[in-house]
Structure 1
């Protein structure tokens, strides 16, 4: 519900709601570690299209999937082209009468075996599981780093490789019409298609893809800007999520409400003017848990450092040389620009143009940099 910091006793007071009894409970602590992720989990994002109230069928969002929904024999219109749509379409194809995936613009996909060949080979050779874990982990991280680097340095080559993977299933005409995005690879998430199941559903005739924009809803379905009407018994809006900043929890520091958009982020985990708090925000182009590990080590090191110094409070502050630093959005839209960031980016803290004052999104740098952070840097202000 809400949390409040008091500098008089260096304490956070957290008011929470017990879901089983619906009663308010209160906790106090000296340090807050925020681990809510960045999606709002209670409801997904559905645009307001004209005529939705005229539609005679059912509209659902995958994040709030109703238990009583039976798609047997139903014509399903799936709006969206991201990972949710690419996962849902093959899952319901063949179980409903037909599923049409309607997209405003295409997404990059990577089809591949839903297995790790290196791990399978090492197990066949009876290598110790501890070794297998470490080798496979390093291989995945190496490949991910190279893929990210190439997406910036040679984007056209990466683009051609990604399109070739889809072309192997659907041919050149379908790729040109429905699977060629206009943006640079990795400026939005790339969806993995296990064993090409989405494309196989299209080949089998259980699913189809339409690239167009919605004009309005009509009683029988959706009218497109091209004039075509897609008839549907059920419309599924796989249209994204709402951004949640620190769990949407109301926060005060010494009685003053905290507006996170007015703070400046320290390495995407701490914020100017907010004491004794770290937010776990992972990576867009690498596993989220990689940064969870790094920040877990950092928090433990920071708490130990505070205990050694005999202090109970730490806040990050701009240094004199940072005062005139240009500030921009948390994430440069030229770097990464999915819809939820474009819609909710104004809620996030500001970022500077120095590595200390931004979330680099670069695991391959941070794995070396974060463990070496100087906790006596003037950025950290300690006290009691």
Structure 2
């Protein structure tokens, strides 16, 4: 292996299945990362390793009725590939098709290995290479790479979270988790109980209510829910008068600014925000409805993720009598339904456990450095996408208070810039380095939702000051990205052939 400033050394020609960059996951994050690599670093080779048979990630996995985005689609879609629809929220199938079109329309499919699940990755500091162990169609296969970029989100694809419900095994009907929705499930004419009140539950309830005999949303406590119109005059006019790309950019910025502004209002004036949510909700419910019992959360707005319903469809289902909300706790599941702590019982033919996700860092991949496994929760996140003391790895996570893709695309660009910098200077490793500086820690996902609090040990830590903090502010992150110093708190170096005169590697600490 050679190493000289000005170019990025390649692996020895005898190394098979080598790529400069391995992207893990062909969902919206992985596809976006591939696009930015092709655009900004075309001289680098890359491959995407995708465990599923098709691209789409989350949008290929989740197939429950009514699945849609809960962020507006103009900020959720890619900035470089205009969204062609005119609705603010998009159906899951349309998002999946959009991702697939982006993959095949940009030749990303030629770099993608489907049915290839990543099991482990080990960094070898003597060569500055990652060895990545996979199962490809069930057959073990090894890849080697200079840089690994997990675009796997932060939840476990193998299954969601279902709490311990006493008596569940006695239920004579069908129990379904949205993450494993059966294609042949027929809910027509059935009594359905949806346990939960998050984004998945409020999407399912009005959709199921169209054909079910009854649908009950059973919640322990209420969630903040805002109604968003599916279309608005600004979107219609903008798409009519501007070219596609320019209209997409204008709508993306308009909606991003609205998200940032509404979030700041909720956090800085929570009493006002509570009043606004309650007033809007009350106006959409039947007269005399117990709003405070079923739609007045005990927490402040955005302590947990805000849920959105299109054109108030959940409230319409309640007004029509096709859907009911019950706020209570489960005593036990019976053969014919759910017995509540209040003594009431809800009859059911189908129980849907919309009870959340299981968090997981790096898609559950076992990461090790020189054969020694490290735990992600011991590490601080660097600039929102790398880990302290871990060379040549970036992790793509999106915003919790805005569209995932807003952050994912900035991460993809930041990684591409770093790779170009490394190649230009002949560096073969880049290691975020605190240099012993003490940093106060906080959760990397700053929400009080149950699926977050019960799984914090699975995720790395955020600090409270840059570059070790994970911030939930698109505008400030854009400014930082514009003036980012790639050398801040970063140690760069290169491997060189070992000789009797010197070491096998050279480091240059900067920042």
| TM, length-normalised to structure 2 | 0.71
Match of 1:190 in 2: 306
Alignment partners' CA distance in 2, 1:105 and 1:345: 22
**Deviation per CA, 1:171-222, whole angstroms, max 9, x where unpaired?**
4633222111111111111111111111111111111000001111111111
Structure 1 pair 299–172 and aligned structure 2 pair: CA distance change class (3 A):
farther
Superposition pairs for residues 40-51 of structure 1, below 5 Å? 40-51=156-167
Q: Aligned partners of 1:247, 1:140: CA distance in 2, in Å?
A: 30
Return the match for 2:133 from 8, 12, 15. Answer: 15
Scaled by the length of structure 1, the TM-score of the pair is 0.94
Q: Where does 1:27-106 land on structure 2 (aligned, <5 Å)?
A: 27-106=143-222
Distance 1:316 1:367 in 2: 21
Preserved CA contact (<8 Å) 1:264 1:349: yes
* 2:226–2:307 Cα contact (<8 Å) kept: yes
Q: How does 1:76-155 map to 2 (within 5 A)?
A: 76-124=192-240, 126-155=241-270
Contact 1:329 1:346 in 2 (8 A): no
Structure 1: 5+ residue stretches without partners: none
The alpha carbon displacement at 1:167 in A equals 1.2
CA distance in 1, matches of 2:228, 2:440: 43
- 1:203 paired with 2:314, answer no
1:41 deviation in Å? 1.5
Give the alignment partner of residue 458 of structure 2, picking from 329, 347, 350.
347
1:367 pairs with 2:451: no
Q: In structure 2, how many angstroms separate the alpha carbons of the residues matched to 1:136 and 1:325?
A: 38
Please give the alpha-carbon distance, in whole angstroms, between the structure 2 residues aligned to 1:30 and 1:100. 52
- The structure 1 residue matched to 2:292, chosen from 153, 170, 176, is 176
- After superposition, residues 186-265 of structure 1 pair within 5 angstroms as 186-265=302-381
Q: Secondary structure at the match of 1:85?
A: helix
Q: How many angstroms apart in 1 are the aligned matches of 2:305 and 2:443?
A: 19
1:278 corresponds in structure 2 to: 394
> What is the SS of the residue equivalent to 1:173?
coil
Partner in structure 2 of residue 163 of structure 1: 278
Which segment drifts farther, 137-146 or 30-39? 137-146
The Cα shift of 1:247 comes to 0.4
- In structure 2, C-alpha distance between the alignment counterparts of 1:363 and 1:169, rounded to whole Å: 31
Secondary structure in 1 matching 2:418: helix
Q: What's the CA shift for 1:34?
A: 1.1
Contact 2:223–2:297 (8 Å) recurs in 1: yes
Does the 8 A contact of 2:400 with 2:445 survive in 1? Answer: no
Cα drift, residue 329 of structure 1: 3.0
CA contact (8 A) 1:12 1:32 kept: yes
How many pairs align? 376
Task: Pick which of 94-103 and 364-373 moved more.
Answer: 364-373
